[in-house]
């Protein structure tokens, strides 16, 4: 990171695109957001979580962590015209989480590229049936999006704890 505000800018870009995606593609309004910063080695997860790495003039991991009802609503809208067997439903919900983070982060890259720097992204990884991750001390900057179908946490995790102060902002 060049400046502490970079992580805030990066997360703001991602949150704006995710909010627009939920509204315009899924028909779900984000009612409110809340931002929290914390340096910890413990990271709580919601029932469905997708993770991607992004890098350019910065390097970090980003997670989208969904309440079950919200990712199921995204899944219903995504798959409304498909005939999916009941035994394949959970796999398709995982793919929905993976697709959403991939689309949002992919659409964020042009706004995050500065001075011709290319922003690279990894393949999404889906984590479910885990309540937390335990990793080395990392600063988490999380924005929670509140919707009528539940919450979604978007978390940016740079490679060190040298960003900002812990705290909560609305």
The half-sphere exposure of 74 on its side-chain side, counting CA atoms within 13 A, is 29
User: Are 61 and 53 in contact, with CB atoms under 8 Å apart?
Assistant: yes
Domain of residue 108, CATH code: 3.40.1550.10
What pLDDT, in 10s, does the model give residues 72-115?
999 999 888 778 787 888 888 999 999 999 999 999 998 888 76
pLDDT of residue 32: 96
**What's the total number of domains in the chain?**
1
User: What per-residue confidence (pLDDT) applies to 155?
Assistant: 93
Residue 167: band (very low, low, confident or very high) from pLDDT cuts 50, 70, 90? very low
pLDDT of the residue at 78: 86
**Residue listed under structure tokens 């706004």:** 111
pLDDT at 1 > cutoff 50: no
The confidence score (pLDDT) of residue 166 equals 45
Cα–Cα dist 89/94, whole Å:
9
| The predicted structure's pLDDT at residue 89 | 80
Q: Quick one: which of 42, 48, 33, 10 has its CA closest to 124?
A: 48
- Residue 166 included in any domain: no
Higher pLDDT, 27 or 170: 27
In a domain, 143, yes or no: yes
Contacts of residue 56, Cβ cutoff 8 Å, sequence gap at least 6: 112, 113, 114, 117, 118, 119, 120
- Residue 20 belongs to some domain of the structure: yes
The boundaries of the domain holding residue 131 are: 5-159
Any domain includes 168? no
What is the per-residue pLDDT for 111?
Answer: 87
- Per-residue pLDDT tens digits for 17-60: 999 999 999 999 999 999 998 877 777 889 999 999 998 888 88
Quick one: pLDDT band at residue 71, thresholds 50, 70, 90?
A: very high
Q: Is residue 167 part of a domain?
A: no
């Amino acid at each position: 990171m060049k400046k502490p505000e970079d992580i805030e800018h990066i997360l703001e870009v991602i949150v704006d695109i995710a909010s627009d995606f939920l509204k315009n593609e899924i028909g779900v309004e984000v009612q409110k957001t809340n931002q929290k910063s914390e340096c910890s080695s413990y990271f709580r997860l919601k029932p469905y979580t997708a993770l991607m790495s992004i890098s350019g003039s910065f390097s970090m991991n980003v997670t989208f962590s969904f309440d079950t009802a919200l990712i199921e609503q995204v899944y219903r809208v995504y798959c409304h015209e498909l005939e999916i067997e009941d035994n394949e439903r959970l796999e398709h919900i995982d793919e929905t989480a993976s697709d959403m983070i991939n689309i949002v982060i992919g659409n964020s890259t042009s706004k995050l590229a500065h001075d011709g720097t290319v922003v690279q992204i990894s393949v999404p990884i889906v984590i479910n049936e885990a309540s937390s991750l335990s990793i080395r001390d990392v600063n988490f900057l999380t924005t929670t999006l509140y919707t009528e179908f539940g919450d979604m946490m978007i978390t940016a995790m740079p490679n060190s704890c040298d960003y900002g102060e812990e705290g909560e902002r609305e």
